Amino acid sequence: MATLTLIQAVNDALRTAMKNDPNVLVFGEDVGPKGGVFLATEGLTKEFGEKRCFDTPLSEDGIVGAAIGMAVNGLKPVAEIQFQDFIFPAFDQIVSEAAKLRYRSGGQYTCPMVIRTPYGGGIRGGLYHSQSGEAYFCHTPGLKVVVPSTPHDAKGLLLASIQDPDPVLFLEPKALYRSVKGEVPEGNYTVDLSTLRTVREGKDVTVICYGAMVPVCERAAARAAERGIECHIVDLRTLYPLDEDGVLEAAKRTGRVVVVHEAPRFCGYGGEISALIAENIIEYIEAPIARVTGFDTPFPNTLEHHYMPDERRVLDAIEHVAAY
């Protein structure tokens, strides 16, 4: 087993999928010989040729629209959108086309495809290289939304997404691309979609998070433990369709819940988690559900460290719900 960074695990997953299935194609802006701006596709054009890993014109609508047509006609496209912030020209193709095609054609036409895109802050990218737009997409029946937080899961979830019969939006936490390392099995393996991962067991406070917030929550939990509060952390991994039973089970364990994401709060993903818990198991809940999120502002550049939830803010919330 090799020790890889998260971005290396993504690259390994793409290479594995391309080796296994000649219909898997990888494309987007600068993904060809350059290997992508983050090097997720490094070496793939050289290894598999420019018919299978290639640069496209600079058009997100075109990339996703063409991917749909390829998928409908038997290929397995893995399209890259360079930054999630740039995905909105393709919003129509994702939300109105890819996500609805199986339904609107009565199952006659389907588009199994993956759209990979780096999301989130932490690289001083300002308004347009930092956003977390998961809530827009989780509001879309027919689409799956996946977010890994470890190299192992990045590879296993990406391979599962490529093999999935439905369109998947694969959000990669760019802040973790090179900051986390972990053991990654060689060859093909999958991590089931719509299953969460228990990161840490604890009896006092349940922390629900995903993507780049997972290591932040782990650090906050370590500090909470020093103060005698044991956190139970779950990493959602697939945001939609959600492992609802897993979330409810984790919330019941402690009866005290903190939800963490870096996207803005209002109509954010955390609201859905809070409602899910409140609607189904309110009798188990001992304290108000706390959300630690980005602010309801655009994403700032210089002061991004104040915008993004950090371990201090998460710790404050953990202590607050623990003491309630």
Residues labelled catalytic: 129
Among 3, 50, 103, 127, the residue binding another protein under the rule CB under 8 A is 103
- Enter the DSSP assignment of 216: H
Among 19, 47, 96, 128, the residue binding another protein under the rule CB under 8 A is 96
AA identity, residue 62: G
What tokens were used for 24?
Answer: 């898997």
Which of positions 23-42 make contact with another protein (CB under 8 A)? 25
Judge whether 153 and 237 are in contact, CB under 8 Å. yes
- Residue 228 interacting with another protein (CB under 8 A): no
Considering only the stretches 92-100, 115-123, 220-228, 282-290, report the one whose residues sit in contact with another protein under the rule CB under 8 A. Answer: 92-100
Judge whether 172 and 134 are in contact, CB under 8 Å. no
- Residue 80 interacting with another protein (CB under 8 A): no
How far apart (Å, rounded) are the C-alpha atoms in residues 144 and 140?
8
Judge whether 114 and 77 are in contact, CB under 8 Å. yes
- Residue 93 interacting with another protein (CB under 8 A): yes
Which of positions 234-253 make contact with another protein (CB under 8 A)? 241-242, 244-245
Q: Which is nearer to another protein, 192 or 201 (CB)?
A: 192
How far apart (Å, rounded) are the C-alpha atoms in residues 123 and 277?
33
Among 51, 226, 297, 323, the residue binding another protein under the rule CB under 8 A is 51
Among 4, 6, 13, 67, the residue binding another protein under the rule CB under 8 A is 67
Cα atoms found within 13 Å of the Cα of residue 210, Cβ hemisphere only: 28
What tokens were used for 213?
Answer: 């917030």
Task: Find the shortest distance in angstroms from Cβ 82 to another protein.
Answer: 16
DSSP H helices in the chain: 6-20, 44-48, 60-72, 91-92, 101-104, 134-138, 151-163, 213-226, 244-254, 269-281, 304-307, 311-323
Give the total residue count for the chain.
324
Considering only the stretches 97-105, 115-123, 247-255, 264-272, report the one whose residues sit in contact with another protein under the rule CB under 8 A. Answer: 97-105
Which of positions 255-314 make contact with another protein (CB under 8 A)? none
Which of positions 120-159 make contact with another protein (CB under 8 A)? 141-142, 144
Considering only the stretches 59-67, 116-124, 130-138, 169-177, report the one whose residues sit in contact with another protein under the rule CB under 8 A. Answer: 59-67
Task: Find the shortest distance in angstroms from Cβ 20 to another protein.
Answer: 17
Cis link prior to 241 (omega < 30° from 0)? yes
Task: Find the shortest distance in angstroms from Cβ 96 to another protein.
Answer: 6
Count interface residues toward another protein (CB under 8 A). Answer: 45
Using DSSP bridges, classify how beta strands 144-146 and 205-209 pair: parallel, antiparallel or unpaired: unpaired
Task: Find the shortest distance in angstroms from Cβ 26 to another protein.
Answer: 13
Q: Scanning the structure block, which residue is given the tokens 């989130």?
A: 120
Using DSSP bridges, classify how beta strands 168-173 and 181-184 pair: parallel, antiparallel or unpaired: unpaired
Judge whether 12 and 184 are in contact, CB under 8 Å. yes
- Residue 68 interacting with another protein (CB under 8 A): yes
Q: Which is nearer to another protein, 77 or 270 (CB)?
A: 77
The contact set with another protein (CB under 8 A) reads 25, 51, 56-57, 59, 61-62, 65-75, 77, 89, 92-93, 96-97, 100-110, 141-142, 144, 165-166, 194, 241-242, 244-245
